[in-house]
Amino acid sequence: MVTDDLKAFTKRAKDLLSTVAFTERVKLIDFLNVGEQSALELMTAKLEDVSVIFDGGFESAERKRAIIFPSFMTTGSINSKVSIFKIEVIGSGEITHSQVLGSLMGLNIDRSVIGDITVDPNGAFFASCSEFDLFLKEHFTKVGARDVRLELVEEAIRRDQQFEDVEIIVASLRLDVVVKALIKASRGKAEEYLDAGFVRLNHMVDKKPSRTCQIGDILSIRKHGRFKIIEVKKTTKSGKLVLVVSKSV
């Protein structure tokens, strides 16, 4: 399964890999989703003179910056330029993940500048490209109606996210069929979710019902959570598939 966005990224990545091989200079890429990271890793593995590492700032981060570098270099000499900011609400009140993302995008910066966003009892944090530190400190002053200020965190933040494995039975790996099983609704309802842009496949909105899901795919469904397809456990006598899916809780 290759989306148009991933095709465009792959073309760009090929150019970057060639540039690093030719110039022997490091290239730093903004935050990538899981699908883009996997594609870049596979492409780099075929090359002897170029390597890649990823850094998302948070432990167990999903969105990460990629650093492409000549294989003769050591990783200790490379700065990934990932910053972690803690959002401090001035006064009282709570903020949500969607409010943080919306306020960041309201600054007219590209989504690739921002990594993971986490809002939990320990506070609200987000990762960003260090090149934007001054801009963010100066302009990111509100989340929704709340006044906020940013504090740069020196150490990586651990994301203690819990998952549980569940089994679902599907007739096929079509996206609409998998969504139907995950939200426990009709196929028509699943198609409504897709058409409305409520479903993200590997962090990108996907509206194509006939898209074939793969092992390792991550699905985010609005109001239902995030899921990762772990394995096809077995096939039933009627030919249906029993999928093991990891669900965030």
Q: Which domains does the chain have, with CATH numbers?
A: 8-75 (3.30.1370.160), 82-153 (3.30.70.330), 163-248 (3.10.290.10)
* CA–CA gap between residue 87 and residue 68 (Å, rounded): 30
- CB-based contact 248:163 (threshold 8 Å): yes
What are the tens digits of pLDDT across the range 108-150?
Answer: 999 999 999 988 777 899 999 999 999 999 999 999 889 999 9
Assess contact for 31 and 114: CB atoms under 8 A: yes
Q: Above 50 in pLDDT, residue 20?
A: yes
Cβ-in-10-Å burial (0-12, 13-18, 19+) of 109 comes to middle
- pLDDT band (50, 70, 90) for residue 191: very high
State the Cα–Cα distance between residues 65 and 202, nearest whole angstrom: 16
Confidence grade of residue 216 (pLDDT, cut at 50, 70, 90): confident
pTM score over 0.85: no
22 forms beta bridges with none
Strand partners, 107: none
* Closest C-alpha to 27, from 12, 42, 8: 12
3-state SS string over 152-219? Answer: EECCCCECCCCEEEEEEEECCCEHHHHHHHHHCCCHHHHHHHHHCCCEEECCEECCCCCCECCCCCEE
Res 1: pLDDT: 46
